[in-house]
Chains A and B, each alone.
Chain A
Amino acid sequence: MADTQISDHVHAAFDAVGMIDGALLPVLHEVQARCGYIPTDAVPLIADRLNLTRAEVHGVISYYHHFRQKPAGKVVVQVCRAEACQSVGADQLAEHVVRSLGCDFHETSKDGSVTLEPVYCLGHCACGPSIMVGDNVHARVTPERFDKLMQRAGSAA
């Protein structure tokens, strides 16, 4: 991403968040929503606006699982790995997902179409296994249903 573009996104993020206490997380969410990730070159700009050190901003970005420092694939697939989903076959689903996408968790498929992330509970624990494909939640996902969802996501992209 070009420097001017990053700078525009950072300024827009601050405009959207406004003057609030403890603004760093809201600003990072806005930057990620605009850029798809938090570019390294955005860090000094954010630090400067909030009167923080780069190290402090970097520390926050790297602490939270939600923030990504590299661009993701076209769609992010999150598969719940927690106990309630494990009790109804989440581990088998996860194995299937890894095999069918050809990439492991925290990785992006070779064609750049999908980034796979683990998630620890989406709150649909009565109807596991749960996954999120982009912004959409899906419950009671079997390997077959996963394949259908990916076909649909593929044709929509």
Chain B
Amino acid sequence: MTMKIFVPRDSTALALGADEVASAIAAEAKSRGLAIQLVRNGSRGMFWLEPMVEVETAAGRIAYGPVNEDDVASLFDAGFTEGKAHPLGLGKTEEIPYLKNQERLTFARVGITDPVSLDDYLAHEGYVGLKNALALSEEQIVKQVTDSGLRGRGGAAFPTGIKWETVRKCSPGQKYIVCNADEGDSGTFSDRMVMEDDPFMLIEGMTIAGLAVGANKGYIYVRSEYPHAITALNEAITVARNAQYLGVNILGSGKAFDLEVRMGAGSYVCGEETAMLESLEGKRGIVRAKPPLPALEGLFGQPTVINNVITLASVPIIMAKGAAFYKDFGMGRSTGTLPFQITGNIKHGGLVERAFGLTLRELIYDFGGGSRSGRPIKAVQVGGPLGAYVPPSQWDVPLDYEAYAALGLVVGHGGIVVHDDTANMAKLARYAMEFCAIESCGKCTPCRIGSTRGVETIDRIANAQDKEQQVHLLRDLCDTMVHGSLCAMGGMTPYPVLSALNHYPADFGLQTTEATAS
């Protein structure tokens, strides 16, 4: 029997040497006269163990990692192809606590299958959702999504069903599904993983969205920093098209839907939905004023559903298992699961999909194992560069959209960046303003000018020039940015800035009373 060996093709695994390991395994097997089948699977999302090699045995898949190319010969010597013991052995993959303690709905297949194998996808419950959707009316599909309680996973958490219903109700004509895959937030990679490691799931979700609202064309706007995601998506789209899962007659239903991947060009603000539409239309990525809502007048002026990758990737399981199944996960109005990404200065960084309601402390200690440096954790930024720095006193708040919002925090896209006690929060606050100045589209004044003034003001505070006045000025400036900016870029940059100032005044050279005086 041919032995099946899995080496991930996920780009983080590649960045840690997965290709070299795969070549070494192929060469070693050849020199030993062993017949192996090398599968390039997705990553399980336990990145501190990458490159993680798995072998298929009668008892299930056995994992080894992190594997260096120099370890390959000794793995063969130890008989790893039969799942035998080796110092890098991790036991059965499914039994690794990090994985076992997750609730993987959207990421159920990720890391298990060959991402671009349609057979693998079908063998693991793929396209069940689409088949169910094809038997339903547009209204019934939208109702399922509405009933599931699914909310936009890009960060804004807008109810997906309501957005879809708005587009569905527009008079028939050209409508579009646009997938926002401009995942620019530092500390996030769940979109990237879906696209690289299970692209059919996104394709299926977008196809269902097309059926639901009467759109026959979809675009996936992927950032240029994600070349591997673009490659995997294009491979999968071609396969899906050849098998009639995309095209003019989906599975013989007479319904049409097709997809095109478009590459961004290194502009963070193009993750804002209207800037993204401008970019797709071939223009500078400048934010549009709303209204009109993109649902009514979106891409090329037509009704458009714009959803994040994870939102669309959550649709197949909702259609496969029903709204009630999905809604059972989570708490309050935050139903279902969120793939959290534990990153930064963390020992066990990776992807953890869990129902809403667990705490940051559980994520960074129970899953993450504390800081990578071994030093105390000082601050955790949740929700990307526009999310607040969460101090230890708030680490026991359940991760839920409403509970977080009540404290002025954001769950966002589920990115969690850990900083140890060497972090200088004034420097990070300055960086937030600096990043906004670099990436601002320039349309509105609070963001374009405010960000530059913000950098200068923080510099003056750090240099102890008129501290009291400058703190007052910074707060006033942040207030203007929050209330006067056209989009979240300028509107939320104050979140990390003010949270750093409020919770870590010493880093700004301030006493607590000086920091809070306004």
Chain B residues near A119 (CB, 8 Å)? 225, 266
A29 and B282 contacting across the interface, CB-CB below 8 Å: no
Chain B residues near A64 (CB, 8 Å)? 264-267, 284-285
For A83, give the chain B residue with the smallest CB separation: B186
A60 on the interface (CB 8 Å rule)?
yes
Interface size on B, residues (CB 8 A): 60
In the assembled complex, how far is the CB of residue B363 from the closest CB belonging to chain A, in whole angstroms?
A: 12
B349 and A127 contacting across the interface, CB-CB below 8 Å: yes
B417 on the interface (CB 8 Å rule)?
yes
B267 and A83 contacting across the interface, CB-CB below 8 Å: no
For B189, give the chain A residue with the smallest CB separation: A123
Measured in the bound complex, the distance between the Cα atoms of B280 and A86 in whole Å is 31
Interface readout for B232-258 with A: 1 if CB under 8 Å, 0 if not? 000000000000000000000000000
Which B335-353 residues have a C-beta within 8 angstroms of A?
341-346, 349-350
In the assembled complex, how far is the CB of residue B445 from the closest CB belonging to chain A, in whole angstroms?
A: 18
Cross-chain pair count, CB within 8 angstroms: 153
B14 on the interface (CB 8 Å rule)?
yes
Chain A residues near B226 (CB, 8 Å)? 123
Measured in the bound complex, the distance between the Cα atoms of B187 and A84 in whole Å is 6
In the assembled complex, how far is the CB of residue A66 from the closest CB belonging to chain B, in whole angstroms?
A: 4
Chain B residues near A25 (CB, 8 Å)? 262-265, 279-280, 282
Within the complex, which residue of B12, B225, B264, B282 is in contact with A60, where a contact is CB–CB below 8 Å? B282
A123 and B279 contacting across the interface, CB-CB below 8 Å: no
Stretch in A8-16, A94-102, A107-115, A131-139 with 4+ CB within 8 Å of B? A131-139
A83 and B15 contacting across the interface, CB-CB below 8 Å: no
B14 and A22 contacting across the interface, CB-CB below 8 Å: no
Which A65-91 residues have a C-beta within 8 angstroms of B?
65-67, 80, 82-88
Chain B residues near A126 (CB, 8 Å)? 12, 47-48, 189, 341-343, 346, 349-350
Nearest 7 A/B pairs, CB to CB = A126-B349, A24-B282, A82-B186, A64-B265, A125-B343, A66-B266, A65-B266
Provide 16 A-B residue pairs closer than 8 Å at the C-beta atoms, listed in order of the A residue. Answer: A24-B282, A24-B283, A25-B279, A56-B283, A64-B265, A64-B267, A64-B284, A66-B267, A85-B186, A87-B419, A87-B420, A120-B439, A125-B188, A127-B47, A135-B227, A138-B15
* Residues of chain B at the chain A interface (Cβ within 8 Å): 11-12, 14-16, 47-48, 50, 183-189, 192, 224-228, 260, 262-268, 279-285, 300, 341-346, 349-350, 372-373, 381, 385, 415, 417-420, 423, 428, 431, 435, 438-439
